[in-house]
Every structure is written in structure tokens, then in C-alpha cells.
Amino acid sequence: MNSDFTDLKSVSIMNWVKLFLLSVVAVLALGFFLRLFGLRLLSKEMFGILISASFIAVSIKALHDLGIDPRQAFFYHNKHVHASFASGLRYFLVLPCFIVAVVALVGSADFLLSYFNLMPVETLTNYLIPGSLAQTSYIGAVLLGSTQRILVFIIATCVLAPIAEELFFRRLLYVSLRNKYNFHLSLTVSSFIFGVFHGGGWFIAFGNGLLLGYLYEKKHDILAAMFLHSFINVLAIILGFAALWA
């Protein structure tokens, strides 16, 4: 990879950790105080909105402190929205091939581990790629029957989260790592942290992070990564509903 990230400013890795802790603690503290006043505001979708808003706020503030205009964070090399949209869409169209490769890799590792009696058959697959994702369960158990909550969930997942997470994990964290280390290490570490942030579906999020980081490395276009992230989340929601109706 020949991309040069040395002209992209970012916070230090330790400052990124501080920003992450600040964002999470601020949202949890807000939820705690709201509960004290009898307001149970922090449903999963509302927590998503608040943590996204927090990530966006600290990211914009951090970039501003670095002397970067907020528009520059979105439009590197004066890219236009339609070009970013097209880039995100092109990478989304290769997603099925990426998924097949990941599933084949995990399946092969699962087969070898079971063949040498190191692990029961399909244990690794069921752990890394669970058949029933938490999001599907949440849609079925909580969201169905409430049009308002479904809309809030879609906005949080498909609009706010892509903006917030790409600014925070790609523009700040990945660039911070990339200015110090090579592409492969920076991509792996930032994607792993991105995956762990997503909890139980960490391996799927880790894979998504690899694709998103690769796009950002190739295009230097955070807006394209945001579009791709949104497309992936839309697909995940569609698959979640489809699983319920299957």
C-alpha cells in the first residue's frame, strides 16, 4: 500500500483512549442521572444515539484542536458527495465475496481444530459467526410492534452510527496508528478495537472494520467509509427482519 497518511493530523493513541472513556462515561452518567429522576431513557436505540452524538462531538472538537476544519475531515482532496457515495457502493458490492472468504476461513479453521480433536465440531464457527445474532433477537423482542422505536433504531444505526464511528475509529484511531505503524498492523489493531466495541458481535464488526479501513486506506475518503458503513448496517437490519420472518 502506497497511501501516505503523514499529512493527516490525528490525536495521540493515549488521547484517543481518553476521548473514548470520556464519551462512554458521559453517556452512562447521563443515563444514571435520568434514572434518578424516573426517566428510563437509555433503551438500546437511545443509547446508540447518545454515544454516537458523543463520538461526533469529541471527534469534531479533537480535529478542531488540531487546526482541522470540520469540512476537511469529510472532504479530503476536495472529493464530492457523489464520488464518495460511488466509492462506498463499489466496496459494498464486493461485500458478498468478502463474507464468503471470511466464512470459508473460519470454517476451515473449525474443521482442522475438530479433525485434530482440539475443539468440538463447529464450536469456533458458532462462537465467531453465531446463527442467531443479538440484533435479530432485539428486533423481534423489543422493536416489532413499535413503529416509532424502529425508526429511531434505523436512524441511530444507519445514519448516526456510521458518521460517529468512522470519525472516531477510522479518522482518529486508524490515522493515529497509521502515522506510526504500517498499514497491516494499523488496520488489524483499529479493526479489533472497533470489533470489541460492538460486544457480542465483535468478530463480524472486526471483519467490517477491515473492509472499512481498507477503503479508507485506498481512498483517503472518510465520507466514502461512512456510506459503506451505512450500507452494511442497512443490510444487517434487513437480514435481521428477514430472519424473523423466515
Nearest Cα neighbor of 150 from 227, 225, 240 is 240
> Which pLDDT does position 136 carry in this prediction?
66
In a domain, 29, yes or no: yes
Cβ-proximal residues to 58 (8 Å cutoff; 6+ apart), any chain: 19, 22, 23, 168
- Residues 198/94/215/181 CA torsion (nearest 10 deg): 70
In a domain, 40, yes or no: yes
Amino acid letter for position 97: C
In a domain, 166, yes or no: yes
> Which pLDDT does position 90 carry in this prediction?
96
Q: How many domains is the chain built from?
A: 1
In a domain, 164, yes or no: yes
Write out the three cell numbers for 242.
428477514
At residue 41, does pLDDT exceed 60?
no
90: left (phi over 0), alpha (psi -120 to 50) or beta: alpha
pLDDT in tens, 61-102: 999 999 888 777 676 655 678 889 999 999 999 999 988 898
13 in Cβ contact with 176 (< 8 Å): yes
In a domain, 34, yes or no: yes
In a domain, 1, yes or no: no
Please count the other Cβ atoms lying within 10 Å of the Cβ belonging to residue 190: 25
Which domain does 189 fall in, by range? 13-245
Q: How many CA atoms lie within 13 A of 195 on its CB side?
A: 21
Please state whether the predicted TM-score (pTM) of the whole model is above 0.85: yes
Please count the other Cβ atoms lying within 10 Å of the Cβ belonging to residue 22: 13
In a domain, 3, yes or no: no
Please tell me the distance from the alpha carbon of residue 229 to that of residue 209, in angstroms, as a whole number. 9
In a domain, 27, yes or no: yes
